[in-house]
Chains A and B, each alone.
Chain A
Amino acid sequence: MNKESSPHEQNITNIITRNMYLLRQKSFWGLLLAALLLALVTILGKYYGHYLGLTNIGMLYLLPVVFAAAVLGLAPSIAVAVVSVVLFDVLFVPPVFRLAVDDARYLISFAVFIVVAWTTGSMADNLRLRMREAINRESRTKDLYDLAKGLSALADIKLLADMVVQHIATTLNADVVMCLPKNGNGLTIIAASNTLGALVAEAYKADAAEWSFSHSQRCGEGTEHLPRAFGVYFPIKTEEQTLGVLGIKANHELTPEQVDVVEASAGLAALGVLRLRLAEEAQNIKTLEERERLSTALFNSVSHDMKTPLASILGAVSSLVDDNDLYNAEQKSALLSSIKRGALRMNRVVSNLLDMARLESGYLHLNQDWYDIQDIIGVTLRENKEILQDHLVRVIIPEKTGLIKVDFALIEQVLTNLLHNAVKYSPPSSEITVQVEEGSDEFRISVTDQGNGIAPGDEQMIFEKFYRLQSPGNVSGTGLGLSICRGIVEAHGGKIWAETPWQHGTVITFTLPIGERVFPVGEMK
């Protein structure tokens, strides 16, 4: 705040000239009132002059002067003072009706008029100026507060920069750019109020911007550093470090108030950038921790889920190799089926791990095409015949359904995992229902089993990686199945959720958006 350093008078004249038009508008009624007062005083003086005495008439003429000074300010009050002096002189001070003064003492009265007008007017103007400043300050503070509030809600650096730039640009009616260092070296423009403006081109050259950034000081037009640069550059800085640069090009030199606005906004921008940077670091640490936790879980899960089937395979195989003669045909066949089951189980574990890796790595490429959902279900049931053989599978599907744009193999994977889950968590020979409903813009597919259901509160958890229901039975699996389902369904733009609607049994439902159909589905010849 360097307002005190600027000369008062200059400020006052500034304000007066700047607001002359406004003042004229506003003071029309004031001037009229002053004129009426003058007339009233004149009439009073004319009729009761002999009774009041010349001195009191003179005093009365001070009233309109004081009024004008208080209400209208310096210039009008001096004008009114001059008129008062002239009227008083011409109409009352001998010689009457002439602009002359017999008694030189009245010159003192006239001087008092002018002095009163000057001092009162100045004081009133000063007060008004202060008030205006206070109002300006308040509105600036409010703007900054709004900006601060807006910035604190943003989680993206680009949006933050846009907001800061827009704020300054509208407040100052100027072109604004914001530059941040790119990967630690060199500034890059992150936001600009006018992306095609000359300021952007200038900031790209970055000389002044770089200077401001590296010296952490304001430079450019109207400053002592690089005054020939195009625009003014403000560092975005905290106490410890400089985070970026704001460049501004207005069509006039910035006033001290405007500099204040920019500096305050730059301060807020600095806080915002710093906040986001810290949040990002915190997120990175969290991701690392999460990754570590996941890899431990993965390690445990994989070692368990791979070793168990491997153990049964190796056990059965070594029995057959070493003691082949000891077993009869029936026993051999039992050992062989145990090998087959173990191998199938390992195959599933490996498939799930591969799917998980694909989902995690972001390499999941959806190979989408238009398919018949009934066909996908049919293939899934065929592929999982052996696993489903101890359950009754019922498919409920509308007589006529349209095609849906999905990745066949991935949706088959979702259904496979849901069916495996249903088999795992429900008693043998119970019913598993696959139901399809077609809405106007999505398919809703659910798999229902007759198991124990999910404990309330666990409905969300089961879709987390490596989560497994606490179940009394010996249930195997990586705990990856449902989280893979979620990954795939969400990649398709759908949702997946679980319910236990009748105290028992689990319903897992997922939706798939249909996509834009090229043509309606109907009977064709």
Chain B
Amino acid sequence: MSKGAKILVIDDEVEIRKLLKVGFTAHGYVFLEAASGQEGLYQAAVNRPDVIILDMGLPDLEGPEVIKQIREWSKIPVIILSVRGQDQDKVNALDLGADDYLTKPFSMTELLARIRVALRHQGNLKDEPTVHSADLSIDLSRRHVELAGSEIHLTPTEYDLLRILVSHAGKVVTHGFLLTNIWGNTSQECAQYLRIYISQLRKKIERDPNQPRFILTEPGVGYRFNILE
């Protein structure tokens, strides 16, 4: 699935498209490109890419609009490229069904990692019941969490939080998504609870909560569970 996967880049910047073309083809992907939102929607419908890279600053269509139209007929993973300061657009796009985002300027390594994650989730691999990241293991079938061989006791909410993050491992999970799935609403108070729970969870599973390895914060957007080898 990974090699030979088709990647559609929708970006009006020629230089960015050129750069991505070199990077993607070098890694064995098939490169498709579109310079506008309309063209991108057309390409997506005709060529059925496996992943779409979408720039938020298109001249003809707003980023969220493009995602909305794609999501009307397809679940193709969409990774957003945005510049700093477009937090709200980013969150809107994610809430509308985009899968992940990257802030410009970004590194090719990072983008390729995001693409791999998107493809993995897209491939809908039969999820292993146990997820490993470095010395942390989470057994989703037994609700059992272990760090360096010893069991970690989590409260039900802490476990739910970890479970949602882990089942989207590598992908950003928005605040809104976590709030709706844990508390059923997105009120201010719950948003504060969420931050406190994340802090407690980190204290239990991170070796140094000041520099977390597993649960990474994506400022203004949400959290990302990091799979370490």
Interface residues in chain A, defined as those with a beta carbon under 8 Å from any beta carbon in chain B? 343, 347, 351, 367, 369-372, 374-375, 377-379, 381-382, 395, 397, 403, 408-409, 412, 518-519, 521, 523-525
Docked CA distance A377–B209 (Å): 10
Q: Which residues of A contact B193 (CB under 8 A)?
A: 524
B199 touches A375 (CB 8 A): yes
Q: Which 9 interchain pairs have the tightest Cβ spacing?
A: A395-B210, A370-B192, A408-B219, A372-B199, A372-B195, A379-B217, A375-B217, A381-B211, A378-B212
Docked CA distance A412–B87 (Å): 15
A347-B105, A408-B219, A525-B155 given; A378·B211 CB < 8 A:
yes
A372 touches B84 (CB 8 A): no
Docked CA distance A521–B192 (Å): 10
Determine if B119 is an interface residue (Cβ-Cβ < 8 Å): no
A403 touches B198 (CB 8 A): no
Interface residues in chain B, defined as those with a beta carbon under 8 Å from any beta carbon in chain A? 84, 87, 105, 155-157, 188-189, 191-193, 195-200, 209-212, 216-217, 219-220
Q: Which residue of A lies closest to B218 (CB)?
A: A379
Q: Which residues of A contact B105 (CB under 8 A)?
A: 343, 347
Q: Which residues of A contact B200 (CB under 8 A)?
A: 523
B210 touches A374 (CB 8 A): yes
Docked CA distance A377–B212 (Å): 10
A375 touches B84 (CB 8 A): no
> Which of B188, B189, B192, B200 has most chain A Cβ within 10 Å?
B192
Q: Which residue of B lies closest to A371 (CB)?
A: B195
Q: How far is the CB of A414 from chain B (nearest CB, A)?
A: 13
A371-B195, A523-B200 given; 13 more Cβ-contact pairs under 8 Å: A370-B192, A372-B199, A374-B199, A374-B209, A375-B198, A378-B210, A378-B212, A378-B217, A382-B216, A408-B220, A409-B87, A518-B188, A524-B155
Q: How far is the CB of A354 from chain B (nearest CB, A)?
A: 8
A378-B209, A381-B211, A382-B216 given; A518·B192 CB < 8 A:
yes
A524 touches B210 (CB 8 A): no
> Which of A367, A374, A523 has most chain B Cβ within 10 Å?
A374
Enumerate 16 A-B pairs (CB-CB under 8 Å) in ascending A order.
A343-B105, A351-B84, A367-B220, A372-B196, A372-B199, A374-B210, A378-B209, A379-B217, A381-B210, A397-B210, A403-B192, A403-B196, A409-B219, A518-B189, A524-B157, A525-B156
Q: How far is the CB of B223 from chain A (nearest CB, A)?
A: 10
Docked CA distance A518–B199 (Å): 18
Q: Which residues of B contact A379 (CB under 8 A)?
A: 216-217, 219
A524 touches B196 (CB 8 A): yes
Q: Which residues of B contact A403 (CB under 8 A)?
A: 192, 195-196
Q: How far is the CB of A168 from chain B (nearest CB, A)?
A: 51
Q: How far is the CB of A397 from chain B (nearest CB, A)?
A: 6
Q: Which residues of B contact A412 (CB under 8 A)?
A: 219
Q: Which residues of A contact B219 (CB under 8 A)?
A: 379, 408-409, 412
